[in-house]
Amino acid sequence: MNKRNIGQNFEQAAQEYLARQGIGCIERNFNCKMGEIDLICKDKDTFIFVEVRYRSASQYGNAAATISASKQNKVRKAAMMYLKLQGYNIHHTAIRFDVITIDGEIDTLNWIKNAF
């Protein structure tokens, strides 16, 4: 299994986890020139942009440690582009940036709300 397939499997697991929490996913793997967003969800009137991070081993740090300031900026810019393309006013739309980390096995899934 290649990295892309592994990533898709963990994104699917994250999406299913959020669904069990009552959070609906409206788009997956949104790509634009600004960057990529793994999951775009909605909770009532709030858009939730979710970054899913997986680490098979912790010898170089956990999954949460892989979300650099540069990655955060790319996700933010991609989120603004998504909202603009959908016709939303970015200044009057409730948004949140969450992270779901998975370290090793799927049962280590951790949902970090308002991560950045």
Q: What is the pLDDT of residue 82?
A: 98
For residues 51 and 38, is the Cβ–Cβ distance under 8 A? yes
CATH code of the domain occupying 3-112: 3.40.1350.10
Q: What is the pLDDT of residue 65?
A: 82
Spatial separation of the C-alpha atoms in residues 11 and 3, rounded to whole Å:
12
Spatial separation of the C-alpha atoms in residues 77 and 112, rounded to whole Å:
20
Q: What is the pLDDT of residue 7?
A: 74
Pairing state between β 94-103 and 46-55: parallel
Beta bridge partners of 27: 40
Of 17, 41, 16, 13, nearest to 27 (Cα)? 41
pTM of the model: 0.90
Q: What is the pLDDT of residue 103?
A: 87
**Count of alpha carbons within 13 angstroms of residue 60, beta-carbon side:** 5
Q: Which residues of the chain have pLDDT under 50?
A: none
Question: What tens digit of pLDDT does each residue of 38-68 get?
Answer: 999 999 999 999 999 988 766 667 888 889 9
With 0-12 / 13-18 / 19 or more C-beta atoms within 10 angstroms meaning exposed / middle / buried, residue 102 is: buried
